[in-house]
Amino acid sequence: MIIKPRTFPPDIVHLEILKHRLQLHHPAVAQVEETLSAMKAGWIGEQSLDFHLDYLKGPHYILHNLRLHDGHHYFQIDTIILFPSFILILEAKNMTGQISIRREKKEMRRDMEGFQDPVEQAERQKRLLDEWLWRQLRIRMPIDFLVVFTNRRCTLEFDSSDSRIYEKVIRASSLVDVMKKKKDNYQGKAFKKEELLRIGQALAESHQDHVPDYMKRFNLSYLDLLKGVRCPSCGKYAMRRTKMKWVCPGCSHHSSLAHEQALREYAVLVAKTISNKEARDFLKVGSRHVVYRLLSAYCKGRSGSTKKARFLLE
Ligand SMILES: [Zn+2]
């Protein structure tokens, strides 16, 4: 049973918005695109695990995309499976090419690129989850992990003399068999179904969503963004406001609500509130009265006095 389903990563939505709001040749575009394609690959890889997880038999509870607080920092886990006798962490990697995992150096390499050692990453998740379960629920339960490479177009090599690495880093195609073996190995105390469910619910309730401030991460400010209302038909930031609607001078597309997407984008990239003056600048509309009407109809509320009013965008 799935207690916490996989949800589409809001990071991808935010990065798509940011990418569209940057000039084509802005120096940050390459970085944004790189992050975006890594996120998309990660999402596809995680999703592809579901096919294999469908074959799981016996009592178990699954939680996807957990972000928990350990008392000092947050830590994230792709997938957790609660079995009666142990907990299994799955760390999905959707990478192509020749991957080499160098345990001694605690790194993973693909050609000239270096990445964090995924085994070390999963070991850290295991340690933090163990501490979390004890601190929050006074529960000690064996925790195991698997780093699962989901893309067939990769070759894996290890420099480790430790043969147990082959039980920790696997391909998705062997996930079902490896999980079965692990289940047979853990024969200690078995938690009842209700207890497992309680643990799963406590984990799900403690999850906290978070999307990083990508503007800050890429060192961007409001001045880097393209302003205006995007034409839903041709994609240009060129919509002009006539009396009652938006019209695109490029393709003549008409829309009455095209500004709403622009305001959603402003909330993601700039701030959760906007003044009349800021909205005039961002939507490229000259009239204070027109902008007042648009904001009053769209926004859920506002704060401050008439002149200094800030409209709430979320
Ligand atoms: Zn257009």
Q: How far is the CA of 263 from the centre of ligand 1 (A)?
A: 18
Q: Are the C-beta atoms of residues 42 and 95 closer than 8 Å to each other?
A: no
Q: How far is the CA of 238 from the centre of ligand 1 (A)?
A: 7
Give the chain's domains with CATH numbers.
Answer: 2-206 (no CATH), 227-312 (1.10.10)
Confidence band for 250, pLDDT divided at 50, 70 and 90? very high
Q: How far is the CA of 219 from the centre of ligand 1 (A)?
A: 30
What gap in Å lies between CA 170 and CA 168, rounded to an integer? Answer: 6
What's the gap between Cα 259 and its chain centre? 26
What gap in Å lies between CA 196 and CA 62, rounded to an integer? Answer: 10
Decide if pLDDT at 175 tops 80: yes
pLDDT recorded at residue 24: 84
pLDDT recorded at residue 53: 94
Residue 141, token pair as written in the block: 């339960």
Mean residue pLDDT across the chain: 93
Strand 240-241, strand 246-247: pairing: antiparallel
Which has the closest alpha carbon to 146: 86, 57, 68, 207?
86
Confidence band for 206, pLDDT divided at 50, 70 and 90? very high
Confidence band for 182, pLDDT divided at 50, 70 and 90? very high
DSSP string covering 140-175, please?
---EEEEEEE--SSEEEEE--S-TTHHHHEEEGGGH
Q: How far is the CA of 234 from the centre of ligand 1 (A)?
A: 4
Q: How far is the CA of 184 from the centre of ligand 1 (A)?
A: 61
Decide if pLDDT at 161 tops 80: no
Confidence band for 306, pLDDT divided at 50, 70 and 90? confident
Q: How far is the CA of 251 from the centre of ligand 1 (A)?
A: 4
Residue with the larger pLDDT of the pair 165 and 190? 190
Looking up tokens 């698997």 gives 146
Whether the full predicted model's pTM is greater than 0.95, yes or no, is no
Q: How far is the CA of 257 from the centre of ligand 1 (A)?
A: 14
What gap in Å lies between CA 299 and CA 309, rounded to an integer? Answer: 12
pLDDT digits (tens, 9 = 90+) for 109-151: 888 888 888 999 999 999 999 999 999 999 999 999 999 999 9
